[in-house]
Structure 1
Amino acid sequence: MNMSNLFEKINENFNQTATIACFNFLPFTRMFRKNIFANVNDCNRVIQKLVGERENNFDNEFITNIVDAYLDEMTGNRQQSTYFSKENLDALVQDLFVAGTETISNTLNWAIFYIVAHPTIQKNIHEEIDHVIGKDRPPCNSDRSRMAYIEAVLLESMRCHCAGPILLPRATTQDITFHGHFIPKDTFILVNMWSAMKDEQYWPEPEKFDPERFLDENRQLRNVNHPAMMPFSVGKRACTGEQIAKIQLFLVLVSLFQKFEFRFANGWIPNDLRGQPGITLRPPKCQYEAFVR
């Protein structure tokens, strides 16, 4: 299995997770889980092979990535009780692959979908790219500070359809009273960030895709740190990959729209924005036509 196939398998896993909850409530559906878990095991075997190859060629004089650094720490603590183990290393790399591929690609897919569905927004993106970097120079991270409109488009895309509507589970570390409600220690907490980012109190016409809500009168970014804007979660357990994710989203989006104009294939018109369920909510299935600019 090559890397492209691995990413496809990971995406398939996310697609299939919408049915996993049924296993606990509808016993007869368990006959279908063989294929689902076979897919997961395929991914795990590939990742374990990649880690194993890195381990076989490990040289502590040349630490070039997180696997090398982990192996260096693991080999230096063989005689001690430690969390640095081969099993945990495999799990770490699996987490990085999953969190660093599907969520980024899904967010990018939603951004492209919304941009193509709004030709005026695509026109504004092309104009900003042409004005700031032109049609030939590759974009770089330093361009972000001068391309507020594209940043606003990405923010609005994440607000409208965040990768996961419910944050990962939390728990209270002590008894607490919140807005008059007593919550005892060790209470299981789920935060509905979808609700926060669709709250009319903070976002007028919340179902409308409008990047302008993130721009002030001087066309500079605003509301970036709004308390109801939490696509990467909040607090100490917020997504550790937030900054690299923002950079990747910006560079890929600008690179695509610098060279191409996109349209829905065969004149297709999106009428249903509910998306496809899974661990993450994916945009409706559609095809695009790309025209060289």
Structure 2
Amino acid sequence: MMLLASNPKIQEKVQKELDEVVGLSRAPSILDRQKLHLSEAMVLEILRMACTAPLLLPHNTVTDTELLGYKIPQNTVVLFNIISSNMDPLYWRSPYEFRPERFLDKDGKVDHEKAENVLTLGAGRRRCIGEQLARSNLYVFLTTILQRCKITKPQGEDYDFEGKLTLIYVPKPFKIKVVERS
């Protein structure tokens, strides 16, 4: 919500797309996803930037191995830092800027190869079993809210995007203003 409230122009573009494709007579559905490219890109960008679990569950190496020149002995506990991957400036140009269009190709459609590099829900065989359900629910939730409401930052409100790291990563308390779209 902080990302949306802080980026009203992107929010307006997503709402325009929703108005053109879905209209106001019905709620957005998962079936609209193939036509709502910017909306899908917005969800991917939120997943990339607002990672709630900074580290994947611990894993053990089953054999001695080497990674990027580092020797890792068998039975070593390995943690994968998702935030460092999702915010890597070598891959994501201007990683701290909210730019959903980074997930769109030259034709304005979702670049699925780029989308696969959002590692918030894991990667490979150990990827979260509920990933598709989580992405689908987030997509329907956010598009339904944006179809009907405008999310704004209350006057005088400053957001701290650093958040607080506990077992999970949570934002510090913040306020938003929700106004019904006319």
Is residue 161 of structure 2 the alignment partner of residue 273 of structure 1? yes
What runs of 5+ residues in structure 2 fail to find an aligned partner?
A: none
User: Which has more radius of gyration?
Assistant: 1
Which amino acid is 1:118 matched to?
A: N
| Mapping 1:144-159, distance limit 5 Å | 144-159=33-48
State the TM-score, normalized to the length of structure 2: 0.92
TM-superposition CA deviations, 1:129-173 (whole Å, max 9, x none)? 101100121221111111111111111112112111111101111
Residue number in structure 1 paired with 2:89: 200
TM-superposition CA deviations, 1:180-206 (whole Å, max 9, x none)? 222121110011111111111101111
CA distance in 1, matches of 2:106, 2:5: 25
Which amino acid is 1:190 matched to?
A: L
Of Structure 1 and Structure 2, the greater strand share is in: 2
CA distance in 2, matches of 1:191, 1:289: 36
Is the 2:5–2:153 Cα contact (8 Å) retained in structure 1? yes
1:284 corresponds, among 154, 172, 175, to 172
| Mapping 1:34-183, distance limit 5 Å | 112-183=1-72
CA distance in 2, matches of 1:143, 1:258: 13
Is residue 87 of structure 2 the alignment partner of residue 225 of structure 1? no
Which amino acid is 1:224 matched to?
A: A
TM-superposition CA deviations, 1:204-263 (whole Å, max 9, x none)? 11111111111112111121123xx21111122210000000110011111111111121
State the TM-score, normalized to the length of structure 1: 0.58
Of Structure 1 and Structure 2, the greater helix share is in: 1
2:153 corresponds, among 264, 269, 273, to 264
Residue number in structure 1 paired with 2:140: 251
Secondary structure of the structure 2 residue equivalent to 1:219:
coil
Which amino acid is 2:164 matched to?
A: Q
What runs of 5+ residues in structure 1 fail to find an aligned partner?
A: 1-111
- When the two structures are aligned, how many residues end up with a matched partner? 179
Secondary structure of the structure 1 residue equivalent to 2:169:
coil
Is the 1:262–1:288 Cα contact (8 Å) retained in structure 2? yes
Which amino acid is 1:289 matched to?
A: K
Structure with the larger RCO, 1 or 2 (CA within 8 Å, 6+ apart)? 2
CA distance in 2, matches of 1:268, 1:114: 16
**Superposed displacement of residue 271, structure 1:** 4.4
Secondary structure of the structure 2 residue equivalent to 1:290:
strand
Is the 1:176–1:185 Cα contact (8 Å) retained in structure 2? yes
CA distance in 1, matches of 2:67, 2:171: 36
CA distance in 1, matches of 2:74, 2:101: 42
**Superposed displacement of residue 269, structure 1:** 3.6
Question: Please, what is the CA RMSD of the aligned residues?
Answer: 1.4
Is the 1:164–1:280 Cα contact (8 Å) retained in structure 2? yes
Is the 1:117–1:270 Cα contact (8 Å) retained in structure 2? no
Runs of 4+ in 1 over 4 A off after TM superposition: none
**Superposed displacement of residue 270, structure 1:** 2.7
Which amino acid is 1:290 matched to?
A: V
TM-superposition CA deviations, 1:41-94 (whole Å, max 9, x none)? xxxxxxxxxxxxxxxxxxxxxxxxxxxxxxxxxxxxxxxxxxxxxxxxxxxxxx
The alpha-carbon distance between structure 1 residues 133 and 235, as it changes in their structure 2 partners (threshold 3 A), is same
CA distance in 2, matches of 1:251, 1:137: 12
